[in-house]
Structure 1
Amino acid sequence: MQEATLVYNYVKTAAKTTPGLKPVADQLGERFKKAKAKKKPDGPAE
C-alpha cells in the first residue's frame, strides 16, 4: 500500500502543473477515501 500512496502523491504533485492529471488525481483520491472507509478498525485486544 505504501507504493500506491507514493504514486498518488506523485500524481497529486504533478497535477498542479499538468492540467490533464487533475481528473486522474481526483479519481485516485476518491478511491483512496473509499478504501480507507471500507477498512475496519481493529477490535479491542482481550
Structure 2
Amino acid sequence: MPFTDKNIREDPAALAELQRLGYRATPVTVIDSEVVVGFDRGKLERLLGLS
C-alpha cells in the first residue's frame, strides 16, 4: 500500500502542513480527506477497507 512518510523535524513544509491542519502533535494520518489523530486502529482499518 503506497504512502508518504513526512518528518516534521526535517521537513519544514511537512511541519507547515501539520500546522495548517490545526494539529500540534503526531501522529496525524490523512486518508483521502479523513484525518486520524493519534493511533486509532479501528478507524484506520475502516478507512483503509481492512475491517
Higher-Rg structure is: 1
Higher relative contact order (CA 8 A, sep 6+): 1
TM-score by length of 2: 0.31
Relative to its length, the structure with more strand (as a share) is 2
Relative to its length, the structure with more helix (as a share) is 1
TM-score by length of 1: 0.32
